[in-house]
Structure 1
Amino acid sequence: MRRIWAIFLGALIMSNAASAQTSGDPPAGKPAWALTIHGGAGVIERGKLTPEKDAEIRAALSRALDAGSAVLAGGGSAVDAIGATITILEDDANFNAGRGAVFTWDGANEMDAAIMKGETLEAGAVTGVTRTKNPVLLARKVMEDSGFVFLSREGADQFSREQGLEQVDPSYFATPLRREQLEELKERVASGKQVSSFDIDMKYGTVGAVALDQSGHVAAATSTGGVTGKRWGRIGDSPVIGAGTYADDRSCAISATGAGEYFIRLGVAHEICTRLRFRAIEQAAEAQAEVPVDRDGAPERVITPDAVSLDPREVQDIVTGVIDELGELGGTGGVIYATPWGQQGWSFNTPGMYRGKASSGGEKLVAIYGDEE
């Protein structure tokens, strides 16, 4: 094993001097582009949604997929695609992001969002914003124009105005359903009933998107209103880079939804990306060990991680393994993913997750319940 790693490290050095040696053909069957989305995970069971609401949510997910797919099919970037996708969901009151965000304990709507580029590891995030119509667009402005990664509350709102993003009155975000959920929560507290801070029944609806574009780059973004009845400036995982949002061209793009405190503790998004990245390194090293060498011990060709492709089942097992660890901690929720090798999908430990995927291969799927493929 030590010899394998020595060969691989030498290959990495050589790849810097001879990039032509490191390029590999795309894996057979790899899609030119791929898009995966979610609209939150939780106790989403058949019978809990009316047929009309079921249809509304599926239609919204489908519209979001179509918006992002159009960008990717036209050769647009993964970042542009996820922005187009998430703004559709932020504008739809069925989701806990933008219009339709849940209320804080004090009766306000405060939004969080994050976005990340896998090509450069650039990222932007905001928390506690109150007037930006589409928080995901503000997160992108932070990434591209602020010189920082994470802005909060009044400062984030000020930056948004200065950047000329569309502003709305805070009443725009409020909906009767979310107000009823807050009142129900307060009634339970007043009656002495035990209330979990991570009550999934009260909070699912966070939205997210991950994409692979035709240039081979991945990106991720997440947007949320947080949890119903949150207090004291609570911040969940969605805007935390590495917890609820992460993208790296060397491994994958991840967007998460669920009990944020557990996702933060486990660093779920980064953990998944790291495991996939190191598995690719191992696979490249294993393949390099089989390459013939000349009389001086130099390999005939160099195999680097970007020239290998992980098996879809292996990718899914790694993603699911991290969600299993989340569950062992007591956390509930799920993730969506897209890899530079073309795999896409999700894993969740709740009864359901609003979700969908599309790709250049022609596959388009929208699902809600756990028993849907």
Structure 2
Amino acid sequence: MTLMSQDLAARREPGDEQEPVVRVSGLVKAFRRADGSIARAVDDVSLEVRPGEFLVLLGPSGCGKTTLLRIIAGLERADAGSVTLRGEEVFAAQRGVDLPPERRRLSMIFQSYALWPHMTAFDNIAYPLRNARPKPGRADVDRRVRAALEMVGTPELGRQYPNQMSGGQQQRIALARAIVGGDDLVLFDEPLSNVDAKVREQLRLELLSLQRELGFAAVYVTHDQTEAMELAHRIAVMGHGRVRQLADPATIYRRPVSRYVANFVGTSNELTGTVVRHEERTTVLRTVVGEVAGARADLAVGAEAVAVFRPERTRLVAAGGAEENAWPSEVTAVLFLGAHTETVAKAGEQSFRLLGDHDAAEGTRVTVTVRAEDVLILPAEG
């Protein structure tokens, strides 16, 4: 265990492992638009973050994820609901409780890094320690800052100013500042969006390793699906101010509970239609390309629904070479994307996307097929 790990462990009290680090209940935050209408940026959100858990808030711009993060931090005041940190209520709209950010014992990394431009990296990292109550001694500050610099792989940057660093280096300094105090909760507001793809990939791996070593709980905001899948123990997919699904990454991807989640997380093939019957293990839709069988769903016969299946589960076979979920098609595009090849095939006006080496040239007549167990039947919501 490193010195930094020992510092963090010392902050934990007996029983903390059972108590959620974060519990938000019924949070609502509304804003008035320019036309006078009211928009709920956060709309009745409740969730918990466990000790040592990495929870990612995933969603498009304007879905409420950053507003939710700022409410937890104390930088925004909700209109209703409550926030509890480590069993202590830090915000309760109904009772007028609202602890300021500095009393919530958490760290936050912003999209802009928020480094003091007139301070060296060392002084930026030392800032929260020098302003803590009680204030640690000078030797302790020096030890903890140097340990933080080592942990993020930048021991040589202590004397550098922010304008003398690359974006990736600034991000590492911001991370070091967040962990130096030993807080068991760190909030991240799209911290990797300002660095290039290669650096972002490396920083994700470093952040994941650091979080696992130190064991702090993390709430991380992003719109990047790959980032969410790599980092999260659980993902909260947000849309229009609400949590649409909260689950581990594999469940979110393989078993989305709605069309919205399926479309936002990864790429899907879709066939809309009407439920015509239920069989022992399947539900069957009537669609523009014929009948589609999928995993049995709790939908009434006659209901509008959508069949959703992933491109990597979709296959091409020789024309006429499949019986269930088989649609005569023509290959219209073959796209080499480096790590994989994407094939596009069309059955009439319906397009299907497929991943993998299917060895079919453009213009080839084929059959597109997918197993019923790989097809989800979901309500045809927007």
State the TM bucket, normalised to the shorter chain. under 0.3
Larger Rg: 2
TM-score normalised per structure 1: 0.26
Which of the pair has the greater relative contact order for Cα pairs under 8 Å at 6+ separation? 1
Structure showing the higher helix proportion among its residues: 1
Q: Provide TM-score, normalisation by structure 2.
A: 0.26
Structure with the bigger percentage of strand: 2
